[in-house]
Structure 1
């Protein structure tokens, strides 16, 4: 009977699924509930961050003291790595290039790379590593570091690592090496990385992504060099931060603060290795989401080189303008017996005869003009001019001055 009433109320239906006008209302209510849940999650996250910040401020000194204690306990030994029989220091940059590329391919956190390199160096400080297993140890260290502190959905699988190694190792070899690394390190994985100290140093200042990316770039350059393997991460973090602020012309921390107490010698060592960074690192930090800091460093180094060249250039000697060539003093550099270049006398082609100066035929001074006599020059001469021999009287006078008087012939 109820079924018949229902049939009479809604009418016959050929389908089992009937659309109702109330479905839109239910969908709108479900969407509103999901929106309210999302807003509630965001509020809870904001409250958790505020509580974490208050707790961190209260326990910051204790946390920093524990981090500094742990960094001393988990430092690798360079001298132990030096006595390795097969692996050498020149192989390290090639392995680190591979780890940097794998780290970027899986989009892991920055601290994962620093932790992986620390696990690699600590293992090489305690075990003899064969050359053919060096890359396998690096992959195991990266896998352990990713499992320890990175997001679970980004942890690489053994199959992915095997593919990146061109199937050089079997699946079981990755698992065995991972277990062997953990056994060698007594399952002590926690290590305060450079990124951890950097976040603590930047917690009291406004967020500046360019400074953070520049500091990470300098810190990753330090991973490639032997002299920084046994340097404490806290010292490297503060020194790299100071150098990054110097390159970007930012204000430095006060020397009384923990972040401002950097090591000047470490800063100089880091600056000396900025000239030839790894091509993989340079390409990685030339992207826009990392503030293009590698290009910024190259431009900074070019400016510093130009300033150094200008400072080393000798000063330009002053130019002395000489009014007349005849006023230049003659310096005899060859001595009295050396070769001499004939010099023009003061009076040009004048010839001295009997103590009397014979003036040139054409005056060389520019104040004389053809057919004119300057007003400043007297018209009378102290000595008679050279006579012209075309007149008999002048011929007789010329013979007199030459010292032989000859009676002119009568024509």
Structure 2
């Protein structure tokens, strides 16, 4: 009996059900081409969206500015209310701000988050009595709210991280309760046009300069540490810090628009007076390369200005042949010269310079009966932040890390 022959396999014998195809390279090339086309399409869509957003922003720019200026007037803290706090004092504020600056840098948050957190802190202290032991807790809650409001979601600090930075001084539930209490106190009005928001608007009207932006932010963050700028409008601080930054960096003061080119001269002078002793934490932060080393640039600028001032105020050497009665005090520099008293006799000549009569230290001669009276101390140009007589009684160790107890500059 003959059996039928089995049909031969079409593709030959195979020991496995998985056969390697020789067309994988073609399919991979086609997939890569499709992905490239999709990426180009996404870039084009993003460019179109940015263009439409820019056109819409230009159309509504005036309305946006009006709303921002209205909101900044509604969300400014009250300095007088903070003054009547029973436990927290102004000299404690720089220590807390140092902590917030370091936490802000550690979590790599946006610049506007720091300004918003400080604003929430000051607004809460304007409405509620804050105890010393809870001051840092309020600052952490303000930073947490500000990060949730406008920062990237993956960079928002967790309660566990904040608790670790506070050396486990507060429980997890205390952070949640304080966060809720701050929001309730502020009637859930978190939105506040920060200095960074106004600064970005002013910078967008000219050619972008990273060094000018970093310098302006450095000056604006210095202003956070001082009482006199707490109630100053963010728009005024933004434009004044931008003008001062351009002056330090020898940039031209652009006047593209009337709003961006206008600034308060008095605020510029006040900001410049506080550049000499910035916070050490803030100075280290802006000494990095990605922030253009602006703190080092400011130090070099101040040293150069001090040298110019010393040369300008140095008294000139008058000729030795000039008679005493013909010589008059001059004002070549900004500093006042020592007046020559006419009731003295011949003055002594030393090294070609007129030697003024010796005036007792810290005293001056009266004009009435010739008696000597104590001179009054000249008041400072700006009010200084009060400092404690005995810092050891402040118990900062209850709510600050040991590194913040190092000697800090007075603000």
TM-score scaled by length of structure 1: 0.74
Distance 2:59 2:298 in 1: 37
Q: Which residue of 2 aligns with 1:242?
A: 243
Bigger relative contact order, structure 1 or 2, given CA contacts below 8 A and separation 6+? 2
Distance 2:27 2:131 in 1: 66
Preserved CA contact (<8 Å) 1:141 1:178: yes
| Alpha-carbon displacement from aligned partner over 1:40-63 (angstroms, at most 9, x marks no partner) | 222111111111111111111110
Q: Which residue of 1 aligns with 2:226?
A: 225
Preserved CA contact (<8 Å) 1:255 1:261: no
Give how far 1:259 is off. Answer: 1.2
Distance 2:8 2:192 in 1: 72
Matches within 5 A, 1:151-162: 151-162=152-163
* Deviating more after overlay: 249-258 vs 31-40: 249-258
Give how far 1:24 is off. Answer: 2.4
Q: 1:245 to 1:8 in 2, by over 3 A?
A: same
Unmatched 5+ stretches in structure 1: 321-333, 335-411
Give how far 1:39 is off. Answer: 1.8
| Alpha-carbon displacement from aligned partner over 1:138-179 (angstroms, at most 9, x marks no partner) | 111111111111111111111111111111111111111111
Distance 1:157 1:27 in 2: 43
Q: Which residue of 1 aligns with 2:356?
A: none
Structure 1 runs (4+) deviating above 6 angstroms are none
Q: Give the paired residue count.
A: 318
Distance 1:273 1:10 in 2: 87
Preserved CA contact (<8 Å) 2:206 2:254: no
Matches within 5 A, 1:83-162: 83-162=84-163
Matches within 5 A, 1:273-284: 273-284=274-285
Q: 1:247 to 1:20 in 2, by over 3 A?
A: same
Distance 1:73 1:6 in 2: 89
Give how far 1:7 is off. Answer: 4.9
Give how far 1:137 is off. Answer: 0.6
Q: Which residue of 2 aligns with 1:22?
A: 23
Q: Which residue of 2 aligns with 1:393?
A: none
Unmatched 5+ stretches in structure 2: 1-5, 322-344, 346-411
Distance 2:300 2:214 in 1: 16
RMSD of aligned alpha carbons: 1.9
Distance 1:256 1:11 in 2: 81
Distance 1:127 1:84 in 2: 9
Preserved CA contact (<8 Å) 2:205 2:256: no
Distance 2:107 2:256 in 1: 38
Q: 1:20 to 1:303 in 2, by over 3 A?
A: same
Matches within 5 A, 1:160-179: 160-179=161-180
Distance 2:176 2:37 in 1: 45
Q: 1:164 to 1:7 in 2, by over 3 A?
A: farther
Distance 1:5 1:122 in 2: 89
Distance 1:206 1:221 in 2: 25
Q: Which residue of 2 aligns with 1:44?
A: 45
1:316 matched to 2:317? The reply is yes
Q: Which residue of 2 aligns with 1:13?
A: 15
TM-score scaled by length of structure 2: 0.74
Distance 2:44 2:320 in 1: 77
Distance 2:238 2:244 in 1: 10
